[in-house]
Amino acid sequence: MQPSRGLPPPAPANGAIYHTYRSDLSQVRALVLQQARQAGLTEGKANDLVLAVSEVAANTLRHTRSAGTLAIWHDGHEIVCEIRDEGTIADPAAGTRKPPPGASGGHGLWLVRQVCDLVELTSNASGTTIRMHMGLRPPGAPG
Amino acid sequence: MDLLTTSVATVESGSEPYTLVELVGEADVTNSDALREVLDAEVAKHPRTLIIDLSGLRFMDSSALHVILRANRAMDRQGGVVALASPRDPVAKMLRLTAADQLIPVYATVSDASAG
């Protein structure tokens, strides 16, 4: 989990599904759940990914006035959800420290980093890209 | 249909009445203001116990959590208690990861919550 201020990572692989959102996060969550199930994530992992993507998309609504874009793709090893928006996250390590119990903010990115297998965060003046990776369990592996 | 519906009842149980707020649907940043209004209105009535029934809640994000934590602080200041009842697995996990379950007791059922 290396936070970076560099250029955004390369565009998603072919076969990604794209969705633009401005206000409806329920639609975002439904799409992630459907794709996560289709990729073969367990129900628990699928719900984790839904929470992570929803938290990041909520930040788009909170901190920008423009739409965000969700891209989802998967291969045999992992499913990746990428959110791009025009917001800027000043602290690339945001969410790496646990907020104190009862804190009135700061839980969103903490949760994202807790539930995902890998989080890549790239932010600069032109926008933020956050990629959330979730590993697929190999065929035949338990649980 | 609304993404989140809330219903409020005063329940007369054996020992003393409690306020029951039931949340059904999905609670996120797009409806956390509405949730705050509902909880603020109940907290303002100074109940001894405010139980939030989460059994119908399919999803909860950190915005909704912050509204609940805020209500808990207000109840605490006025000598009342907030309890959460029957969260589904994803919501229970989120309460655990944020340690909110260490501040607000989480019960398997509303009747467990009302028994304290």
Closest CA to B92 of B47, B66, B42, B58: B58
A112-140 confidence digits (pLDDT tens): 999 999 999 999 999 999 999 999 976 55
Q: Check pLDDT > 80 for residue A16.
A: yes
**Does residue B113 fall inside a structural domain?**
no
pLDDT of residue A101: 81
What is the mean pLDDT of the segment spanning A42-51?
97
Nearest-by-Cβ selection for B61 from A47, A55, A104: A55
Q: Is residue B9 part of a domain?
A: no
Mean pLDDT throughout B12-26?
91
Q: For residue A14, give how far its alpha carbon lies from the nearest alpha carbon of chain B (Å).
A: 31
User: Is some CB atom of chain B closer than 8 A to the CB atom of A120?
Assistant: no
CB within 8 Å: A44 and B89? yes
Integer CA distances (angstroms), B7 to B19, B25, B46, B51, B65, in order: 11, 12, 18, 12, 18
Q: What's residue A11's pLDDT?
A: 65
Decide: B62 and B30 in contact? Cβ < 8 Å. no
Q: What is the pLDDT of residue B20?
A: 98
For residue B65, give the CATH number of its domain: 3.30.750.24
What is the token pair recorded at B13? 């149980």
- B12 is a domain residue: no
- In the prediction, which pLDDT does A8 show? 61
H/E segment holding residue B63: helix B62-77
| Beta strands across the sheet bearing B18-27 | B4-11, B18-27, B49-60, B81-85, B106-107
Which token pair is B112?
A: 């467990």
Q: Is residue B4 part of a domain?
A: no
Q: How confident is the model at residue A2 (pLDDT cuts 50, 70, 90)?
A: very low
A10 contact B CB<8A: no
Q: What is the pLDDT of residue A82?
A: 96
Mean pLDDT of chain A: 89
Give yes or no for A64 touching B (CB within 8 A): no
Interface touch B66/A48, C-beta < 8 Å: no
Per the structure, the count of domains in chain B is 1
Range of the structural domain that residue B61 is part of: 17-108
DSSP B15: S
Of B3, B73, B94, the CB nearest to A51: B94
pTM of the model: 0.93
How confident is the model over B29-77, as pLDDT tens digits?
999 999 999 999 999 999 999 999 999 999 999 999 999 999 999 999 9
pLDDT of residue A13: 66
Residues in chain B: 116
What is the percent of chain B where pLDDT is above 70? 99
Whether the CB of B100 is below 8 Å from some CB of chain A: the reply is yes
Domains of chain A: 17-135 (3.30.565.10)
Residue A37, pLDDT > 80, answer yes
Does A98 contact B99 at a Cβ distance shorter than 8 Å?
yes
A105: chain B residues, CB-CB within 8 Å: 66
Which ipTM score applies to this complex? 0.94
pLDDT of residue A115: 97
Whether residue A55 contacts residue B52, with contact meaning beta carbons closer than 8 Å, is answered with no
Domain presence at residue B115: no
